[in-house]
Structure 1
Amino acid sequence: MKRLCLAAVSLIALMAAPALAQQTPTIDQNSVTAHIGFLAGEELQGRGSATRDEAIAAAYVAAQFRLAGLTSAPTMDGYLQRAPVIKTTASGAATLTIGDLTVTQGDDLQILSGATRSAFGATVLAPADPAEMPTGDVILIAPPEGPGFQALVGAAARKGAKMIVLRRTAALADIAAHNGTRTSVRLTDTPERSGTVIVLASPEAFDRMASAGGEAAFDPGQSTIENGFTTNAIGWLQGTNPDAGVLMVSAHLDHIGVRPDGVVMYGANDDASGTVAVIELAGALAASGPHERSIMFVAYGAEEVGLLGSRYFVEHPPVPLEEIAANLEIEMIGDQDPQLPAGVMMMTGFERSNFGQALKDRGALVGPDPYPEQNFFQRSDNYALALRGIVAHTVSGWATIPTYHTPEDTIENLNIAFMTNAIQSLVEPLKAMADGAFTPEWAEGGRPEPR
């Protein structure tokens, strides 16, 4: 009888072993590689915001949600949330007139910002010192070589300049060559953006303008306007307790796409890596469920052109926003910042709430943001939710990575092993959040004020 009991216990243990192992699913590096290979591959051409390539990426994410066993979110009849947008493409034939001198967009005139907006007013020649920036409608600035022009532009904008004319430097020429005249995108139900027009003049043209002085007028020419849409992919994992609130895991699936000069910006790290993390965590948490809290997985579109996907999401949420207990945004986890401890990701606004510490206490490889002066907390999709009172933060492997917004942000430059381990470290902590009674809260003064 004793032997029979031991045999029975052994059999039960063997039968239970797969179920126990299933409670902590393993993130498979081959799966990570396969997903990143498609999202950041040649076929999707960098998943430009509000493009067909972005829509294909969203459909792919939605298919992975379905395969993982997720359903559509409440109030949705599918996995895709399409946000209508207006896309405006500048004429490429803008002109700038100062006094009797007129230059046309091309070698002598390039547009850095505001390519579709007109501007006019009296010109003021400013010194190359932000502290001595004068007030004026149109400010002409000859910046020094190097990155110092940002402070000058910022100072002029704060002085209320309608237009800033910069004398071209090597650094500015490089920016202009890469940017070209990009199509601007806005949500259909939002007004056209205002702001300072910033143009770049060749040294010869700038010197002639500065000598001419007088009134200036910038004519952007006739823009092309078309309707379109950006796409959010949303999956839902139903919890057992409808009163426990919703845990949300998100990333943005778009990138810059094809530059005006024809160069493809693949965005493997930014943010195909985060999108893969959302896909993998959806599969892992579905496999280890059911959980007490429902979990919503979101991959936003059009982050690169003004956080449009997340802004639309908070205006059209599939569930009431007050039901969302916390949001973890995942962005740029394709490599490790050498400033951080080995294997660790930074969390933006770590000190603003107890969410990061709670994840860390449960095994997540996260720590404080070493670059608070960069204001990364406000620069990702988490911020739209944080402004609505939801405890929402972004984790990143290397926010200041040298490949950021360059053609070198490719699959070949990812650290897939780090990325896989980073995702793995989030599985148990998120499972604990979904199963436990802990609800993240803002620290005193941590919640951002609505604008």
Structure 2
Amino acid sequence: MRRLLLVLPLLALVACGDADAPADAPAAPFDASTAPAPPEAALAAIDTVALRAHIAALADDAMGGRGTGTPGEQLAVDYIIEQFRAAGLEGGMPDGSFTQDVPLRSIRVTEASPLTFRPDVGEPASFDFVEDAALGTDTDAASVALDGADLVFVGYGITAPGYDWDDFGDTDVSGKVLVAFVNDPPATAEEPALFQADTLTYNGRWTYKYEEARRRGAKGILLVHTEEMAGYPFGVVADDAFGAHPAGADVPEGALEVRGWISRRAGEALAEMSGSSLDAWMEMAAQRDFAPVELPVVADLTMEVEQTADLVGQNVVAKLPGRSAEGVVFGAHHDHLGTNDELVAAGQDGIYNGAVDNASGVAMMIEIAKAFAAAGQMERTIYFVTFTAEEAGLLGSAYFAQNPPIPLSQMVANVNVDSGNLYGPTEDIVGIGSERSDLRGLLATTAEAEGLTVSPDAAPNQGLFFRSDQLAFARGGVPAVFINTGDRFVGQDADYGQRMRDAYRADRYHQPSDELTDDLSFGGILQQTRVAFRLGYALAASDLAPQWRPSEAFAETRRQSMAD
């Protein structure tokens, strides 16, 4: 899933709908109980042997970690196209091709000094790059420096009129380096629904905080990482800080010279130098009347940066034509983190195989494509898209949504499969974001056909809906869901699956150890694949048209898209 220090561009997506459809025609009531069931022959086309074979091929060392724009990605793209062709799919781009080039650039920090904080009074403190600072740049410069840069603590760095929240007020932060927490301000007894309580909003994502810093003309932003707030260890953002990271082809407006993460230890030291504490900062930042604090501390840092302007990633786009131009879009990202050259040079395993994240999702999609091919022609066209550069900030899916093969208004829904359940069978399944639209009811119906119930997201504060590729579709108004692992594991040892999942998150997530090993299980991913297929089939074989809940901001985007 999403990772690293790059930015998901803001999508201003307006699509063209059916010119013959009246703009104000009322939507038919959505009745999930009318969803058609797929033929058994189609379900039988999905099997665990094939799922395992696809994951093994994509997570093999020969793929080199499937880094964006690398020979490893090309091998993965070739394999995926071969499997799609074998299943009888056509190229999904308007010219009939299977690939969509995604123009990017590569940013690689080659050398970096420690990040040094110098207080007006007292001794400076330095924090090593990677161990306590994982930083990058928006710019296309070969060298970046903070030389006595002014620091301003801006709380959570959020301006959200809908919540009557403004961490900036009238303070001019142009030319300053912002210091902010990740996540949202916590809900209170007086406002239990503040920022959707324990559900992370987009305002809490690091991508939003970068965007806000750019809008305000800041020189940079340092996000204070705590595992409780971020939902993952600091090592996840720091391990390949010296790696090559894809970014959008164009330097963003208001480009930040320095942006990224500092560890809790560095954040605590900075707060203490400023005459406070990290706990006190958290308490201050949680107040609606918070005002930015100019810190009596300046920052020094130098980074040497290698820039490559002609990096190109590839989205794979395939389709099974239906009887109408409307489409149901399945998505999964095929990229991973590539190779850590420093580890390889030290004689260690430096290939990020990405078996779970996300060879498993691509394997699921290939099997779903086979099932659709066995089911025969649908009413709606089914698209199967594997995205590049998801790990760099959802760049491949953002580009696809900005340059779709059909207008977004003709896309009925997006079903995203990412990091499949390789831990064991469950009694339930989770549809991240399904509660935002009619897809929740449809998912419940299709899950029931597999003997499963739908559980809510067990960790809503981690904001998974904003960390995977369905976000690009949602921001374009397309109802979207991320099919995720359930929480109630079953079997001879019901706790085994939970322990396996916890161990993966602690030791394998975004690590070279994310390999296909004998301790992984395929009963759970088979369940997920069948449910995802049933969900897509219900939409592709009918005229069901899920809509966003009226309270969702995406609903207005959809309305405008359909009207246009």
Matching residue within 86, 101, 105 for 1:86: 105
- Residues 104 and 248 in structure 2, CA contact (< 8 A), matched pair in contact too: yes
**Partner Cα distance (2:540, 2:473) in 1:** 19
Go from structure 1 to structure 2 and tell me whether the alpha carbon gap of 1:96 and 1:358 turns closer, same or farther (over 3 Å shift). closer
Which range is displaced more, 43-52 or 424-433?
A: 424-433
Aligned to 1:7: none
Residue 345 of structure 1 aligns to a residue whose secondary structure is strand
Structure 2: runs of 5+ lacking an equivalent? 1-37, 138-142, 158-166, 181-204, 275-295, 344-349, 487-500, 558-564
Trace 1:238-253 onto structure 2 (pairs within 5 A). 238-242=321-325, 245-253=326-334
**Partner Cα distance (1:299, 1:197) in 2:** 27
Which range is displaced more, 98-107 or 317-326?
A: 98-107
Residue 310 of structure 2 aligns to a residue whose secondary structure is strand
Measured after TM superposition, the shift of residue 224 of structure 1 is 3.5
Residue 249 of structure 1 aligns to a residue whose secondary structure is strand
Aligned to 1:145: none
Measured after TM superposition, the shift of residue 138 of structure 1 is 5.6
* In the alignment, structure 1 residue 381 sits paired with structure 2 residue 403: no
Aligned to 2:135: 113
Residue 296 of structure 1 aligns to a residue whose secondary structure is strand
Aligned to 1:9: none
**Partner Cα distance (2:528, 2:260) in 1:** 41
Question: How many positions carry a matched residue from both structures?
Answer: 407
Which range is displaced more, 308-317 or 398-407?
A: 398-407
Measured after TM superposition, the shift of residue 210 of structure 1 is 6.1
Measured after TM superposition, the shift of residue 246 of structure 1 is 0.8
**Partner Cα distance (2:368, 2:375) in 1:** 10
Aligned to 1:391: 479
Measured after TM superposition, the shift of residue 60 of structure 1 is 1.1
- Residues 181 and 260 in structure 1, CA contact (< 8 A), matched pair in contact too: no
Go from structure 1 to structure 2 and tell me whether the alpha carbon gap of 1:104 and 1:227 turns closer, same or farther (over 3 Å shift). farther
Go from structure 1 to structure 2 and tell me whether the alpha carbon gap of 1:196 and 1:284 turns closer, same or farther (over 3 Å shift). same
**Partner Cα distance (2:92, 2:129) in 1:** 51
Trace 1:45-444 onto structure 2 (pairs within 5 A). 45-94=64-113, 111-114=133-136, 117-121=144-148, 137=176, 162=220, 164=222, 178-189=239-250, 191=252, 194=256, 196=259, 198=261, 215-242=298-325, 245-262=326-343, 263-336=350-423, 342-362=426-446, 363=449, 365=452, 367=454, 368-397=456-485, 402=505, 403-412=508-517, 413-444=519-550
Matching residue within 551, 560, 563 for 1:445: 551
**Partner Cα distance (2:460, 2:551) in 1:** 16
- Residues 45 and 374 in structure 2, CA contact (< 8 A), matched pair in contact too: no
Higher relative contact order (CA 8 A, sep 6+): 2
**Partner Cα distance (2:516, 2:465) in 1:** 26
Per-residue CA deviation, residues 232-274 of structure 1 (Å, 9 max, x unaligned), is 11111011234xx211111111111223532222111111111
Structure 1: runs of 5+ lacking an equivalent? 1-18, 142-152
Amino acid at match of 1:79: F
Calculate percent identity across the aligned residue pairs. Answer: 26
**Partner Cα distance (1:360, 1:219) in 2:** 53
**Partner Cα distance (1:325, 1:107) in 2:** 45
TM-score, structure 1 as length reference: 0.76
Amino acid at match of 1:423: T
Q: Which structure has the larger Rg? A: 1
Per-residue CA deviation, residues 3-36 of structure 1 (Å, 9 max, x unaligned), is xxxxxxxxxxxxxxxx975354331221111111
CA RMSD of aligned residues (A): 4.2
- Residues 114 and 129 in structure 2, CA contact (< 8 A), matched pair in contact too: no
Which range is displaced more, 304-313 or 183-192?
A: 183-192
**Partner Cα distance (1:89, 1:52) in 2:** 18
- Residues 343 and 418 in structure 1, CA contact (< 8 A), matched pair in contact too: no
